[in-house]
Amino acid sequence: MESVQTEKKFYEAGIAAPRGGTTCVLKHGDIFGIYDRYGDIEETGVGEQGLYYKGTRYLSHFRLRVAHSNPMLLNSTLEKDNSQLRVDLTTHDLVDSCGGTVIKGTIHIHRTKLLWDGVMYEQLRITNYGAQSVVLPLTFQFGMDGADIFEVRGMQRRRRGRSLGNRCEGNDLLMEYRGLDQVTRRTRIRFEGTIPELDVSEGLASFNLELASGAQTDAFFSIACETDEEIAELLNFASALERTEAAWHRYRSETAAVVSTSERINDLMDRAAADLLMLSTTTRHGRYPYAGVPWFSTPFGRDGIITALQNLWRDPATARGVLAFLAEHQAQVDDPERDAEPGKILHELREGEMASLQEIPYYAYYGSVDGTPLFLMLAGAYFRRTADHACIEDLWPNIEAALEWIDRYGDQDGDGFVEYKRRRPDGILQQGWKDSDDSVFHADGSPAPAPIALCEVQGYVYAAKREIAAVALALGQPDLSRRLNDEAAELKRRFDAHFWCDDIQTYALALDGNKRPCRVRSSNAGHALFTGIARNCRAAKIAQTLLSEESFSGWGVRTIATCEARYNPMSYHNGSIWPHDNALIAVGLSRYGFKKEAMQIISAIFDAGISMEPKRLPELFCGFDRKGAQHPTLYPVACSPQAWSSGAVFHLIQAALDMRFCASKPQLSFRRPMLPPSMRKLEINNLKVPNGCVDLTLRRHPRDVGFNITRKEGDVEVGLMV
């Protein structure tokens, strides 16, 4: 059994693969549900199905039975906007409560589920298409284990809280768990309309529904996740549905819409947009995209920033929400227990029993080396996109603190490179985006000793200083701007001198604690193109290495090449394919003018996404070669949906178009845009610019791509760059 060492021992892979086929995911805010295709939550040992809220499983099983048997599945559909799960069921031949025979296929059961603000709502609609009246016995069985998400993922605890049992409160069934943190977590099940008989001790709700021939009846119930301090607002089903639909329409009005002539890519883009909304939780600062369901449904600094960068061109509001949230949680003190230092940007913020008891370090953890420069990159890119002076001025103390962290704490040995070495013994060992324990190594496979300076992190620092130099100049600080540009130029020079490896024709994965380069062909070098730290004379060789047979599978660029010592296409970081990684590489290739190579990656990732159901790119997939009609091989415990995989879809569009903004003019330009072969035309509507909005149509011609402005509000220039 493989052990994925992401976040050390707290995530053990291979033990929680879903049983019974495809699962369906719903999420809103801090609540998410994972169901089987019947709409049930089955007891599957350490399986991940359940209803979760703020790091705790409030519903561990939830099963519908008709006459004590499983119904037959007809269809299961997740709405395109992710707002509802709809399930159609019928029955086998059975005997009803009065001894009559119910013929298979004459009873239709339609289930509709949705989540809103800590509550799951369900409508049950039953129709009798038979010639005879029936008295149909239905039962729901519920259970709550109060498991922390880390327990569900496989972590063993020496002690845990206790169940307080079930009880009735009017027509409500209550199930309670008292944690070791002395918090009582409560699942409240409320029934509307048809009231069932309740067996409190067994967690059973039983209905005897009398249906005449051709008759139809509805039953409604809600399942709320509560504590003594946090009581859910319970709506009726219609009101919850109305709020869900209103949220989707509001989001669509705030973000750019993208439509192509490829229906399959449209499905992929529609699902990605819906997933980004579903994964986003509204904080007091705005939207923040949680990393992924089920294991990472919480704020992550790196993931939130990259997702915001990917979608900045179509959704700048999310970037503003991410920046403000992370600024509020920026480290203020030096705390080795949390790998925190003043100015450092949050890695991960967790709620739940184990986090509150500090059985895991992630209650507010800062163990990532890249979050801080990425924060600065996003701040600069957001300003360039929006010219939002007020936001940047509010963030300026946080920007200064982040710059101070890079120079004072990030560069541990004063060699000019930002490196990491964990300080909490059970914290994350590898603190870049490839955070498995075995992800940084030398050509012979031996692990690299800390402190480690990662290839891509130096690029992030370079881009961060360049971005903030431009911001400083706009804010009337020319001396700071000049200093940051000089520091970036020196870093670029030293990076090339220390990281370039002629023998492998790419940049080293990292420098180890002895300043020895890890001569490993990795996707990390593609981030050097994304950030601009790569010298122009190196770009062609990097592109050739990334698109070689050893690195490019046909479905995307592998995290490391097949010729490397630790290559394993089924591993988490040593040979798999990550959509967000590929999107960053594609943007980098496009930046350096390698449009053909960028298009290879764009087409490959799009092909992978449209081959998966429900037209969704997962966190990662295996790095096996593309062969014939075979689809990509799924990684069994990948999060799906995952925010930066959904965002990758729109980042790939940006890579194809090489879209650039200058908000101070304002100006939107395309540098030698391209479209995938499957797209003849691409429409971008409701693209917001400062004090205006544009709709565009781009068309592929034999030699180039042209555009038309179909609507323009405000004074904005739109043009092509050569």
Angle at 660 between CA 659 and CA 662, to 5 degrees: 155
Residue 149 has pLDDT above 90, yes or no: yes
pLDDT tens digits, residue range 556-599?
999 999 999 999 999 999 999 999 999 999 999 999 999 999 99
* Residue corresponding to tokens 């890695």: 347
* Residue corresponding to tokens 């031996």: 446
Cβ atoms of residues 314 and 280 within 8 Å: no
pLDDT band for 207, please (50, 70, 90 cuts): confident
CA distance 76 to 504: 49
Query: Among 207, 209, 166, 173, which residue's Cα sits nearest to residue 189?
Result: 173
Q: Which residue has the higher pLDDT, 372 or 667?
A: 372
pLDDT tens digits, residue range 409-422?
999 889 999 999 99
Question: Cα separations (Å) of 151 from 12, 179, 437?
Answer: 10, 13, 21
Q: Stretch 519-524: mean pLDDT, rounded?
A: 98
SS3 category, 111: strand
pLDDT tens digits, residue range 2-22?
333 333 333 333 333 333 457
Cβ atoms of residues 586 and 523 within 8 Å: no
- Would you tell me how many other CB atoms lie within 10 Å of the CB of residue 620? 25
Q: Kind and range of the H or E element at 467? A: helix 455-474
Q: Where are the alpha helices (DSSP H) in 574-678?
A: 579-591, 595-610, 643-657
SS3 category, 418: coil
The upper half-sphere exposure of residue 316, i.e. CA atoms within 13 Å in the direction of its Cβ, equals 19
Taking the CA atoms of 609, 613, 614 and 620 in sequence, report the sign of the dihedral they define. negative
Cβ atoms of residues 447 and 512 within 8 Å: no
441-462: burial string, b at 16+ Cβ within 10 Å, e else: bbbeeebbebbbbbbbbbbbbb
Query: Among 110, 113, 22, 11, which residue's Cα sits nearest to residue 59?
Result: 113
Cβ atoms of residues 451 and 493 within 8 Å: no
Segments making up each domain of the chain, as ranges: 8-245, 370-537
Residue type present at position 384: R
Query: Among 317, 319, 316, 341, which residue's Cα sits nearest to residue 330?
Result: 341
pLDDT band for 99, please (50, 70, 90 cuts): confident
SS3 category, 622: coil
Specify the pLDDT at position 703: 87
Specify the pLDDT at position 44: 64
Q: Stretch 652-668: mean pLDDT, rounded?
A: 91
CA distance 587 to 377: 15
Average pLDDT, the chain: 93
Query: Among 64, 55, 293, 51, which residue's Cα sits nearest to residue 187?
Result: 51
pLDDT band for 196, please (50, 70, 90 cuts): confident
SS3 category, 235: coil
pLDDT band for 722, please (50, 70, 90 cuts): low
Cβ atoms of residues 84 and 186 within 8 Å: no
CATH top class, domain 8-245: mainly beta
Q: Which of 12-16, 66-70, 230-234, 713-717 has the lowest mean pLDDT?
A: 12-16
Specify the pLDDT at position 180: 97
The tokens of 291 are what?
Answer: 């990393």
Taking the CA atoms of 543, 544, 550 and 554 in sequence, report the sign of the dihedral they define. positive
Cβ atoms of residues 494 and 416 within 8 Å: yes
- Would you tell me how many other CB atoms lie within 10 Å of the CB of residue 536? 9
pLDDT tens digits, residue range 53-95?
999 999 999 999 998 889 999 999 999 899 999 999 999 888 8
For the chain, what's the residue count?
722
Question: Cα separations (Å) of 93 from 72, 211, 324, 632?
Answer: 11, 16, 58, 40
CATH top class, domain 370-537: mainly alpha
Q: Stretch 515-529: mean pLDDT, rounded?
A: 98
To 10 degrees, the CA torsion angle through 436, 439, 441, 443? 150
CA distance 64 to 71: 8
SS3 category, 254: helix
Residue type present at position 506: T
* Residue corresponding to tokens 């709405």: 79
CA distance 384 to 313: 11
Query: Among 274, 295, 303, 321, which residue's Cα sits nearest to residue 374?
Result: 303
Cβ atoms of residues 550 and 492 within 8 Å: no
Question: Cα separations (Å) of 185 from 90, 175, 196?
Answer: 35, 8, 24
Specify the pLDDT at position 510: 98
DSSP 320-379: HHHHHHHHHT---S-BGGGTB-TTPPPSB---SHHHHTTSSGGGSB---SSHHHHHHHHH
211 phi-psi bin (left φ>0, alpha ψ -120 to 50, beta other):
beta
DSSP 522-578: BTHHHHHHHHT-S-HHHHHHHHHHHTSTTTB-SSSBBSB-TTSTT--TTSSSSS-B-
Phi, psi (rounded to 5 degrees) for 602: -60, -50
